[in-house]
Structure 1
Amino acid sequence: MKGIFAGSGNAGMSSPYVAAAVISLTRRLPEDLSLLYIGTASYDIAEARHMQTGAFASMGVAIRSLDVANKSVPREAMAEAVDGADIILVSGGNTLYAVDRWEKLGLGNLLRRASLDGKVMTGGSAGAICWFDGGHSDSMDPESHRLFKLKKIKCRNDAADARSGMGGKGGPKSSLFDEGARSDEETEPETDTDSDEDSKDSDSDSSTSDWEYIRVSGLGILPGLICPHHDRVQSNGVLRSTDFRSMMKRHSYEVGIGIDHFAALEINGAEFRVLSLPGRTGSVDVEDGGGCKVPGVWIYYVDGDGIVHSIVCPRSGKVSDLLQTLKYPSKHFVEDKRVKLCRKANPPLMD
């Protein structure tokens, strides 16, 4: 495995700083690289793709997308797209929908194989959770569901058409998201659910705020239970780090990794390092920093007495010291019973 770059928010994942870090894992020049964008978690909406691939494109990386959220694609075509990529970038969005969709189509196994073939796997939020055993997900948020998102985009497009006098016959198209939190610090459009933003949409119905975080399964390429947007509050009003601590009690055999909104965890072979987006705040105290906090990564574990511990992850180290592989994971992983309710509320595409 060449590398996995797991971030949190779209604001970070779309920055030149992050793009340069991801490209460096390939040890090749940007103009020699091909990036495959998989936007299943954000239902293949164009604006999310443009936002998250723009920095790579500006550096000369060739961009291609694989759209499977709303249609089936032959396995041969998916295999060709995955095999031809040097970097695979997964969008933020609804993690449960994305992983379910990939497993149904056979794309999950293609991505697992790609990680063994030396591809660089990257993404923020849902695009971070998916590479690991599982994650702390906002997939139950009604505003992260497929029909809600597609309807919202249609309404925006219709409004844009009306303003431009096109009457629904054309005009500018717009969209936004990923799985999670909208930050008051951000000026970017809303684009992340396992998401990316931390306050409610101004046009959101208050009834949509009554939802809970759930543990969802990823592809299991690496061990670990990932919590993106670790330092953020989303539309249900619950700080993710607080809820993650409760989740760890229910999943006590797993090692938890909390990634702040403007932080990322880079896995480079046997080594890891933590990156923080410059100029952003997070949850990690700065030594002699006068109360300043920077984005970082936290390690969670449950001791034999059932007490949850959390420590700041070192800025670099050995992956073997960070992640612990269970000998018999199927005996220890506990399925979140609310996953079935979530699938019912956000039904898979019937094809």
Structure 2
Amino acid sequence: MTKNIYKQIIAMGGGGFSMEPENPLLDRYILGLSKKEIPKICFVPTASGDSDKYIVRFYSAFVQQLCKPSHLSLFNPPTNDLRSFVLEQDIIYVGGGNTKNLIALWKEWGLDHILREAWESGIILCGLSAGSICWFEQAVTDSIPKQMTVLQCLGFLKGSNCPHYDGEQERRPSYHRLLSQGLISEGYAADDGVGLHFIQDKLEKIVSSRLHAKAYRLEKIGETVKETLLEPTYLGKI
């Protein structure tokens, strides 16, 4: 009898250990999704150019949690068998940075195909900023300096995504403009501290590490853009 495999992605607008080092609510939520008592969580810092400081911050945060942390560098690979390394993990956590470079490097190394296989086998995928938008078909990105543009991403999830919706003032008007001009597909935006939890390819839950942070559904109706507020479940105590 074939067991039911849950494909899960948690796309964070911002937050987690790198933006909220004193607030582990989102990171603990992600760890709690694993069925393992001590889940193996692998950080992928490609978008930051495998920043040493970013990697250290990851380990500093996750050694305090009940898990087994590791990281995957493409500039200094841990093995010549990336597929086996990735498929041994329980959670893949992708960091922020330049998404355009992330997509290019992943495709060059075949990591895009490996991560799809991981997702389809039940390994949890998550990340913030670049690590959020990479999973969608399209995204609003600042990968090119001084402008917000549309980026074609991996397409594990349908539609588009925009992170840092409340944290960077150009995000909301840029998403509205690109959608109204038909340059990007309909999708979701998330404030810093908000996680969009997809099971299979459906948005099943929205969680937040910040009391007043929100998520949004953006649709094009005629020539106008409709923005619908999506209220998250706050993970802390009120």
Would you say same fold, with TM above 0.5? yes
Residue 118 (str. 1) matches residue 122 (str. 2): yes
Query: Scaled by the length of structure 1, what TM-score is found?
Result: 0.59
CA contact (8 A) 2:8 2:125 kept: yes
Residues 139 and 160 in structure 2, CA contact (< 8 A), matched pair in contact too: yes
Rate the CA distance shift 1:213–1:257 in 2: closer, same or farther, 3 A.
same
Mapping 1:195-274, distance limit 5 Å:
211-233=146-168, 238-251=169-182, 254-269=185-200, 272-274=204-206
Any gaps of 5 or more consecutive residues in structure 1?
142-210, 280-293, 317-351
Please name the residue that 1:22 is paired with.
30
CA contact 1:2–1:26 (8 Å) conserved in 2: no
Q: 59, 67, 70: which one pairs with 2:65?
A: 59
State the Cα distance separating 1:83 from its structure 2 match.
0.9
Unaligned runs of 5+ in 2: 1-5, 234-238
**Structure 1 104/215 Cα, relative in aligned 2: closer, same or farther at 3 Å?**
same
Q: Secondary structure at the residue paired with 1:310?
A: strand
Partner of 1:145: none
Equivalent positions of 1:1-351 (< 5 A) are 1-9=6-14, 10-12=18-20, 15-29=23-37, 31=38, 33-68=39-74, 70=75, 76-141=80-145, 211-233=146-168, 238-251=169-182, 254-269=185-200, 272-279=204-211, 294-303=212-221, 305-315=222-232
Q: Partners in 1 of 2:138 and 2:185 — Cα distance? A: 9
TM-score (norm. length: structure 2): 0.86
Distance in 2 between the 1:297 and 1:259 partners? Answer: 4
Q: What is the Cα-based RMSD across aligned positions, in Å?
A: 2.2
Higher strand proportion, which one? Answer: 2
Cα deviation 1:138-167 (Å, max 9, x = unaligned): 1012xxxxxxxxxxxxxxxxxxxxxxxxxx
Q: What SS does the aligned partner of 1:128 have?
A: helix
User: Following TM superposition, by how much is the alpha carbon of 1:119 offset from its aligned partner in structure 2, in angstroms?
Assistant: 0.4
CA distance 1:14–1:49, change in 2 (3 Å): farther
CA offsets, 1:172-227, max 9 Å, x none?
A: xxxxxxxxxxxxxxxxxxxxxxxxxxxxxxxxxxxxxxx11111122111112110
Amino acid at match of 2:174: D
Give 1:130 shift: 0.8
Deviation at residue 274 of structure 1 after TM alignment:
1.3
